[in-house]
Structure formats: C-alpha cells, structure tokens
C-alpha cells in the first residue's frame, strides 16, 4: 500500500505560562497579529521595548467570521463521524490502498502550505510558491544564497523550505494524519537536480521531543521530466535539532503532524 501525495504537511508546573495559554485559547479568534508569546530574536538584537498588549488588534467582526467557520467545521466533522472513519464507510476505509493527501489545483490548495527562508534571520535567500501551468502543479522557486550574515554570531546560512500546515479541527483542536494503514510516501516531483530533504514531524509525547524530525534525502534528476518517487516510511531516520540520533525508532504514523 502506498500513501500518495501529488507535489509540484504529562503534568507540568503552571504559573503565568498556563494563564497566558488559556487566555490565548479563549481570545484567539478575536485577536490578529498578537504577540503575547515570545518569538525568535537574532543574536545581538535589542529586545522589543513596546509592551505586548499594544500589539493586540481587537476585531469583533473577525471574531464572528471565525466563529461561523468553526461551527461549519464542527458540523462537517459530526457528519463525517456518523458516516465512518475520516468520513468514509468502514469497509472502504479498511480496504483503502492509496490516499491523496495534498494536490495543487487552486489557491486554496497553496494556502495549506507555508514557505520560509533564511531571510527571516538575516540571510539573503528568497523563496516563492505559485500554481504551475494549467493549475495542475505547484511551482516552488527562488534563490538559495549561502552568504553568511555579518553579525559575528551566525556561522552557516542558506536554506529554503516548504512546509504543510498542521491539520486543525473545529475551534483549533489538534488533529493528525493517520497513516498507520500505509507503508510508503509517494511523491510526484520535477526537481532541479539537487538533493532535497523530506521531513516528517510527529506530535511528541514528551516536551523534550518537540525538536524531533524524521528525515530522508531525496535526490532529483533535474530536467523537463516528472519523477515518481516512492519512499518507504522505514527509510526515514530520526534527528533532533539537526543531529542524527543514536537511538532510532519508527515513525509514529498515527501522529503525523506535517511534512
């Protein structure tokens, strides 16, 4: 069985952090561009002096629109649950051989992905994402620049990435991709001849595992022809913060969060 993707996703001590987390969950739909949480700051950069509450943009209309969206999602989830697992009859779900998780046919499909580069931390790489010809694929393009920023701290630079957004249920509940019925990831790509790293992130059981990733190096031929690449899940290796771990274990296929 192959998983198909058409391409080109304990207890703790509570104090102020818990109160802030609960506040964000309650007011999340009403806040836009909120900075009540800490964000990355370049080494040597001065901390932001503006109080965090001044960055809050309260929008009642946006809150109503978000509430309508979540109620419609809840309705759809209820209907799918009555039909069967993932909205499919049980017999069809158990006999499923392939499953298309992502495809690119419209701007809505592109909105399920996030692109980033080292320009966010002072680098000079650029990356863009758009629909290809005839709206049958996604085109990821840009410039990869390995020039190191002159800040006296950064030693390496130059990366571009394309990441699927984690699935969310109604009212921003965490959801996961359940790939436990499959054993392979299937990609249809047209590369540029350079190797690419394919990463799968699974929701960690312990907090110290939040930086764990499952990686696989994908080598592309380049040229005008499409490639169909099949990657067994058993070929992914575990790393944490960019370091391959001595202790390896299989992917938690029922807790896949994004690619």
DSSP conformation class of 170 = G
Residue 146 resides in a domain: no
DSSP conformation class of 113 = E
State how far the Cα of 201 lies from the Cα of 204, in Å rounded to an integer. 9
Residue 60 resides in a domain: yes
Q: What's the confidence (pLDDT) of residue 63?
A: 82
Residue 120 resides in a domain: no
Residue 64 resides in a domain: yes
Mean pLDDT of 7-31: 46
Per-residue model confidence as pLDDT tens digits over 162-218: 999 988 888 888 888 888 888 999 999 998 888 999 999 998 888 888 889 999 999
189: phi then psi, degrees, rounded to nearest 5: -135, 160
The pTM (predicted TM-score) of the whole model is 0.71
Q: Is 228 exposed, middle or buried (0-12, 13-18, 19+ CB in 10 A)?
A: exposed
- Mean per-residue pLDDT of the chain: 80
Confidence tier at 38 by pLDDT (50, 70, 90): very low
Q: Which domain holds residue 67?
A: 3-112+165-258
Count of domains forming the chain: 1
In 93-130, which positions are buried (b, 16+ CB within 10 angstroms) versus exposed (e)?
eeeeeebebbebeeeeeeeebeeebbbebbbbbebebe
In residues, how long is the chain?
A: 259
Confidence tier at 40 by pLDDT (50, 70, 90): low
Residue 141 resides in a domain: no
Residue 93 resides in a domain: yes
Rg of the chain over CA atoms, in angstroms? Answer: 21
Mean pLDDT of 229-253: 92
State how far the Cα of 181 lies from the Cα of 202, in Å rounded to an integer. 16
Residue 195 resides in a domain: yes
Mean pLDDT of 52-59: 69
Instruction: Note the Cα 10 to chain centre separation in Å.
Output: 24
Residue 45 resides in a domain: yes
Mean pLDDT of 97-108: 89
Per-residue model confidence as pLDDT tens digits over 107-160: 999 999 999 998 888 888 999 999 988 888 999 999 999 988 888 788 888 889
Per-residue model confidence as pLDDT tens digits over 62-84: 888 888 888 888 888 888 888 88
């Amino acid at each position: 069985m192959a998983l198909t993707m058409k391409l080109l996703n304990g207890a703790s001590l509570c104090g102020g952090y818990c109160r802030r987390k609960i506040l964000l969950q309650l007011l999340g739909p009403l806040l836009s561009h909120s900075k009540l949480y800490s964000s990355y700051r370049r080494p040597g950069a001065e901390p932001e002096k503006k109080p965090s509450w001044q960055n809050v943009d309260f929008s009642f209309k946006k809150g109503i629109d978000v509430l309508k969206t979540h109620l419609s999602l809840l309705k759809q989830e209820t209907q799918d649950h009555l039909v069967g697992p993932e909205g499919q009859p049980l017999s069809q779900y158990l006999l499923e051989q392939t499953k298309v998780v992502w495809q690119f046919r419209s701007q809505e499909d592109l909105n399920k992905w996030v692109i980033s580069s080292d320009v966010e931390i002072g680098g000079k790489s650029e990356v863009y994402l758009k629909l290809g010809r005839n709206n049958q694929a996604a085109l990821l393009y840009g410039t990869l620049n390995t020039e190191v920023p002159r800040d006296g701290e950064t030693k390496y630079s130059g990366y571009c990435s394309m990441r699927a957004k984690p699935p969310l249920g109604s009212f921003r509940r965490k959801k996961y991709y359940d790939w436990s019925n499959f054993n392979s990831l299937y990609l249809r790509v047209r590369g540029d001849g350079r190797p690419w790293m394919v990463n799968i992130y699974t929701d960690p059981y312990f907090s110290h595992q939040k930086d764990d990733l499952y990686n696989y190096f994908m080598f592309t031929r380049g040229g005008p022809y499409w490639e169909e690449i099949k990657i067994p899940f058993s070929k992914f290796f575990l790393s944490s913060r960019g370091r391959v771990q001595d202790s390896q274990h299989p992917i938690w296929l029922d807790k896949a969060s994004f690619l």
